[in-house]
Amino acid sequence: MHLTDRIHTFVELGNYLQKPQNSPVLRAIAEKAYAANTWFTPDNSLKALHAIATEFLNEEKLSAWIKGYNVTSESIKNVGVVMAGNIPAVGFHDLLCVLMSGHRLLVKLSTPDFVLIQFFIQKIIEINPKFAEFIHISERLNQADAYIATGSSNSARYFEYYFSKKPHIIRRNRSSVAVLSNRETSADLQALGRDMLDYFGLGCRNVSTLFVPEHYDFVPLLRELEPLAPFFTGQHKYNNNYDYNKSIYLINGVPHFDNGFLMVTENEGLVSPISTVYYQTYAELEALEQKLSGLAERIQCVTSKDGFFPGSVPLGQTQRPGLNDYADGVDTMTFLTTL
């Protein structure tokens, strides 16, 4: 299949996702995903579909992205992909990369995200039936020539053992952080709220730790987010986590800030529990830069006001990755085009 055919297929998929007349179908798919996994609220699934359409499947962006790679169809490989399922359609980028690179996709779907990815696969084949030969859903990936696997740090050890003899990308637990400066406006704090709370904070690109100046006042942030309380307290899984973590902090006398659905507590860790965000203080930005550099292998992305901190993205953008924002900083397309 020629590269132009592949580009056209995905552009058509993006157009389909954005046509108003298809909204009832997409809403039905989102409801089905919610029935299978109540973490995936319909609105969150629709948000993810919209982001994929606008950031990944825009013709101009897609064409500019693919021009950066030497994509040929001379050596077609079977690429096994073990998908994550922590947030809606999180595995789509890997699917896109494998198919755009011209390889065959052997995919093990994540149970929590089965509905949305299966929908994408069906729609891709409907738009371009030639892709039926290039996409295979399977529980076993023994026939793969290379692997891309995403999971926890524990499962990564399993992946390393079984996939070690073939080319592979193995992804582990990561989290994202924000660097605050006391100069954030109300709009900035709302944007930070999206970074922390989109998809209930379940993504590796969600901010789970705040690095703040000494004596930072968390009251403005928590007050800014208070209007979101009904949504989060109305999601029983999230609210159960909030109640549990709050009880632990109260029983153990752990100092924390609380606005009724989100807690902030000082902790040296980077991966905070659901409904909680950690914070650490800093005195000098130079020292903080050095510290985060040393933690690079555990951090997915860094955000700050207008991206003032070196290597960071602006507040509100962590869960809006572009085509070149590869998980764990490993260029998936370079890996695939050099197999």
d(CA 113, CA 122): 15
State the DSSP code for 145: S
| Stretches in the chain below the pLDDT threshold 70 | none
What region, left, alpha or beta, does residue 253 occupy, with left being phi > 0 and alpha being psi -120 to 50 degrees?
A: left
Alpha-carbon dihedral sign for residues 81, 84, 85, 90 = negative
Predicted pLDDT of residue 151 = 82
**Are both 22 and 121 inside the same structural domain?**
yes
Domain range enclosing 46? 3-173
Predicted pLDDT of residue 106 = 97
Q: Taking the CB of residue 334, how many other CB atoms lie within 10 A of it?
A: 14
Instruction: Give the global pTM.
Output: 0.94
Note whether residue 231 is domain-resident: yes
In contact, 150 and 158? CB cutoff 8 Å: no
Q: Taking the CB of residue 142, how many other CB atoms lie within 10 A of it?
A: 9
**Are both 179 and 61 inside the same structural domain?**
no
Predicted pLDDT of residue 294 = 96
**Are both 133 and 213 inside the same structural domain?**
no
Residue 173 phi, psi dihedral angles, 5° rounding: -60, 130
Note whether residue 323 is domain-resident: no
For 192, the 3-state DSSP assignment is helix
Q: How far is CA 69 from CA 28, 74, 235, in A?
A: 37, 14, 43
E strands in the chain: 78-82, 104-108, 135-137, 146-150, 168-171, 175-179, 207-213, 257-258, 263-266, 276-282, 299-304, 313-314
β-partners of residue 139 are none
Note whether residue 113 is domain-resident: yes
**Are both 156 and 192 inside the same structural domain?**
no
Q: Count H helices and E strands in the chain, helices first.
A: 13, 12
Note whether residue 334 is domain-resident: no
Note whether residue 66 is domain-resident: yes
Note whether residue 320 is domain-resident: no
**Are both 186 and 261 inside the same structural domain?**
yes
Give the CATH number of the domain where residue 82 resides: 3.40.605.10
In contact, 208 and 272? CB cutoff 8 Å: yes
